[in-house]
Amino acid sequence: MVNRIESQAALQAEQAKYAAALKQETRRVLICTGTGCLASGGLKIYEALQNRLKALGIPVEVVLDGEVHGESVGVRKTGCHGLCEFGPMLRIEPQNWVYVRVHESDVDEIVEKTLVGGEFIDRLGYQKDGKVFKAHDDIPFYKKQTRRVLSLCDTIDAQSLEDYLAFGGYSATAKALFEMQPEEIINEITESGIRGRGGAGFPMGKKWSQVAAHDDPVKYIVCNGDEGDPGAFMDRSCMEDNPHRLLEGMIIAGIATGATEGYIYVRAEYPTAVERLTNAIQQAEAAGLLGDNILGSGKSFHMHINCGAGAFVCGEGSALTASIEGNRGMPRTKPPRTVDKGLFGKPTCLNNVETLASVSGIIENGAAWYKSLGTEGSTGTKAFALAGNVVNTGLIEVPMGITLREVVYDIGGGIKNGKDFKSVQIGGPSGGCLTKEHMDIPMDFDSLKKVGAIIGSGGLVVMDEDTCMVNIAQFFMNFICEESCGKCTPCREGTTRMNDILTAITKGNGKMEDIDELRDLAQTIKISSLCGLGKTAPNPVLSTLQNFEEEYIEHIRDKRCRCGTCKDLSSYHITDKCIGCTKCARNCPVGAISGEVRKRHSIDPAKCIKCGTCKAGCPVGAIKEG
C-alpha cells in the first residue's frame, strides 16, 4: 500500500523507494496476461512458476511492498506483450529473452535451465525461417516498433501502483502541477503536434486551448473509451494494462484546461478495463494522486467511470455525452461544439484513450522528444491492432509514416498459409481498403486521406486473396445499418438502401446500374448526414468500388464470386485429385456427397448447403469452390 503523498519531493521519495525494491528483483519473469494469453493459459504459467520457485527455496516477489528483502526473482502478470498469435508468452529480464507458446509443462525447465542456469531454451524461442530469435528487440515483430504509449503495458502489473511508481509514474503530473503554468502545458502539447488518435486527427493542443479559454467554473474532461470499431483493440490495452498512465493524462488535461471533473466512458464489452480503472482510481485517491488537493498542490480532480451499454454511435462525441447524461446516445446538430457546450451543457474536452495516454510522455520528455518520431504533419507513434490473415496478429506501436509494407511483412510476418496479399482494411467502418499499390505510401493522417482511407482508431485487418471485397463492403454496410441511431434520414434510410443493393449483388441479383446507384447514394449520405458515423459510412463501399470494381462487375454480370465467399454464387465440386477416401461423404451434414470407396466422389448441388465442411476436411485438396 502506497503512503499518502503530499508533495513533489515525497513523490520522488516514494518512487525511489519502490525503484530500490524493484532492483532487488535481479531476475524477472514477465508473463503476459492480456486477453489473448489469458485465454490460452497465461495465468496457469504465472502460478506454476511461483510454485516451482518456492519449492526450490528461491525467494519470489510478485508485488512490491517498498521493503528491501534481498535478492529475489520477480514474477509479474503483465498486460499485453503484443504478439498475441504466439501466446502464452513471457519475457525474462535482465537478458530480455522472449519465450512463446509456453505450456505449463515447460515451467520446470524454464526455472531450472533459464532462471537458475542462465541458459536459453531454443525450443521456446520465437522461430522464423529456421532461425531462433532470443532477445525481444531482435524479433522481427518488435524490431521496427517503438513502444511509447504501450511501453509499460508489458512490464508492470496493471493493478499495482507500486510498480508504476517504481518506473517513475506520476512524475508528469507532479511536473504539470509544480513546474508548469497551465498555458505552458497547453503550449507543450500544441508544440508536440499530437493529433487525436480516435479517428478525426484533430490537433489536441487546439482543443485544450479552446476549453481553457472558457471561464466557466464547471468544465469536464471526458475520455472516450468506447472503442467500437470492429478490428481495433489498442485502447483496450491502454485501459487494462496501464490504467494509471491514462489517469495521469486526464489529470494533466484538467490542470491545463481548468476542469476538475473527469469521466471515462468505457464500452460494455470491456469489463476488465472497468475493473482495473476502478481499482486504479481507488489507489490513486488513497495515495493523494487524485481527488482533493493532489500532491498537496491545492488542486483537485475527481474521476468517474461510465460503462457503455452497447451502441457503436456512442463513440461520436455528442452521442457519448448524451449517454453519460443518461439519455439515448444520439448525436445532435453542431454547433455548439463539445468544447463550448458538451457534457451537461458545459465546456468539455473530449479525447480518446490513446491520445490521453500519450500526454504524460510529452510533459515528462518534452515536445521535441515527441516530434522526434513520425512525419511533419503526423508526429509521434500510433498503436495499431493487427488482425486478419497475417502471421503475427497482435498489438503494435510504430512511428507515424511507416509504410504498409513494413507493417504487413516486416512486423506482421506476411500473409498466413502462404497466400497472396490482397488488401488491408484500415479505419473500421469509417475507413477504406488499401491495396498492393499502396504498399509504400507513408501511413499518416494526410497521406491516407488522399487515397480514400483514414487511420481511424487504428484497426488494421489484413485480407488474403480469398477475401471477397464485395462481401466485405456488404459486411460493413450491414454493421452501419444496425448501428445507425436512426435520427437522420440519410444515414438511417440511405445505408439501408445501400445494404439492400449490396446484399442483392452478393446473392447474384445485382444489376449493372447498381454500381452508379451505390456511388450516388454514397455521395448523398456523405454530404447530408448529421454526424461522423453517417458521413463516413459509405467509405468502405467507395474504396472497394475504387480499387476492386472488377469484382463487383463479376458478381453482377458473371454471377461469380472468385473467392467463393458469396455462397449463393458458389458451388463445390470434386476434382479428379479425389482418392475416394469417403471422408467428405461422412462429414457432409446433409448427405449431399456420394461415391464408392477409392473412386472419385461427387456432390449433389441440389442438396449441398455450401457449408464448406468437405473442402476443409479433404486430405488431398480435391474439393474446389467457385
Partner 1 sequence: MEQKDYQQIDEILAKYDRDKARIITIMQEVQNIYRYLPQDALSYIAKEVGMSESKLYGVATFYSNFALTGKGKYVLKVCRGTACHVRKSGNVLRALYEATGLNEEKTTTDDGLISIEIVSCLGACALSPVVMVNDTVHAAMTADKAKDLVDELRAEG
Distance CA 15, CA 400 (A): 32
Is 131:125 a contact under the CB 8 Å cutoff? no
User: Quick one: 479 or 552, whose CB is closer to partner 1?
Assistant: 479
User: Quick one: 310 or 336, whose CB is closer to partner 1?
Assistant: 310
DSSP 316-354: SHHHHHHHHTTS------SSSPTTTS-GGGS-EEEEEHH
User: Quick one: 459 or 494, whose CB is closer to partner 1?
Assistant: 459
Amino acid at 174: A
Minimum CB distance to partner 1, residue 96 (Å):
22
Distance CA 274, CA 164 (A): 19
Minimum CB distance to partner 1, residue 408 (Å):
14
Select from 475, 476, 425 the least CA-distant residue to 454: 425
User: Quick one: 81 or 148, whose CB is closer to partner 1?
Assistant: 81
The arrangement of strands across the sheet holding 97-99 comes to 60-61, 72-78, 25-32, 90-93, 97-99
Minimum CB distance to partner 1, residue 231 (Å):
4
Minimum CB distance to partner 1, residue 422 (Å):
10
Minimum CB distance to partner 1, residue 612 (Å):
7
User: Quick one: 360 or 474, whose CB is closer to partner 1?
Assistant: 474
Minimum CB distance to partner 1, residue 26 (Å):
32
Minimum CB distance to partner 1, residue 415 (Å):
12
User: Quick one: 311 or 339, whose CB is closer to partner 1?
Assistant: 311
Minimum CB distance to partner 1, residue 261 (Å):
13
Q: Which three cell numbers stand for residue 523?
A: 455521395
User: Quick one: 389 or 547, whose CB is closer to partner 1?
Assistant: 389
- Tell me the sheet residues that pair with 459: 385
Q: Which three cell numbers stand for residue 265?
A: 466512458
User: Is residue 220 exposed (0-12), middle (13-18) or buried (19+ Cβ within 10 Å)?
Assistant: buried
Tell me the CA end-to-end span of the chain in Å, nearest whole number: 63
Is 580:624 a contact under the CB 8 Å cutoff? no
Select from 508, 457, 211, 463 the least CA-distant residue to 352: 457
Q: Give the torsion sign (CA, 563, 569, 571, 576).
A: negative
Instruction: Give alpha helix (H) positions in 396-512.
Output: 404-405, 445-450, 469-483, 489, 495-506
CB atoms within 10 A of CB 119: 11
Please report how many Cα atoms fall inside a 13 Å half-sphere around the Cα of residue 202, on the Cβ side. Answer: 13
Select from 72, 269, 35 the least CA-distant residue to 158: 35
Minimum CB distance to partner 1, residue 366 (Å):
33
User: Quick one: 266 or 339, whose CB is closer to partner 1?
Assistant: 266
User: Quick one: 323 or 539, whose CB is closer to partner 1?
Assistant: 323
Select from 206, 589, 235, 590 the least CA-distant residue to 382: 235
Query: What are the CA-CA distances from residue 344 to residues 322, 324, 341, 347, 406 (Å)?
Result: 8, 9, 8, 9, 45
Is 360:252 a contact under the CB 8 Å cutoff? yes
User: Quick one: 287 or 468, whose CB is closer to partner 1?
Assistant: 468
Minimum CB distance to partner 1, residue 304 (Å):
10
Which residues here bind partner 1, judged by CB under 8 A? 35-36, 38-40, 84-85, 227-233, 236, 268-271, 306-312, 323-330, 344, 385-389, 393-395, 425, 428, 459, 461, 463, 467, 472, 475-476, 479, 482-483, 485, 589, 611-613
User: Quick one: 426 or 525, whose CB is closer to partner 1?
Assistant: 426
Instruction: List phi, psi (to 5°) of 601.
Output: -90, 170
Select from 319, 320, 324 the least CA-distant residue to 304: 324
Three-class DSSP labels, 354-387? HHHHCHHHHHHHCHHHHHCCECCCCECEEEEEEE
User: Quick one: 280 or 424, whose CB is closer to partner 1?
Assistant: 424
Minimum CB distance to partner 1, residue 566 (Å):
11
Distance CA 626, CA 617 (A): 17
Minimum CB distance to partner 1, residue 419 (Å):
12
User: Is residue 108 exposed (0-12), middle (13-18) or buried (19+ Cβ within 10 Å)?
Assistant: middle
User: Quick one: 361 or 456, whose CB is closer to partner 1?
Assistant: 456
User: Quick one: 11 or 314, whose CB is closer to partner 1?
Assistant: 314
Distance CA 224, CA 253 (A): 14
Minimum CB distance to partner 1, residue 471 (Å):
8
Minimum CB distance to partner 1, residue 348 (Å):
15
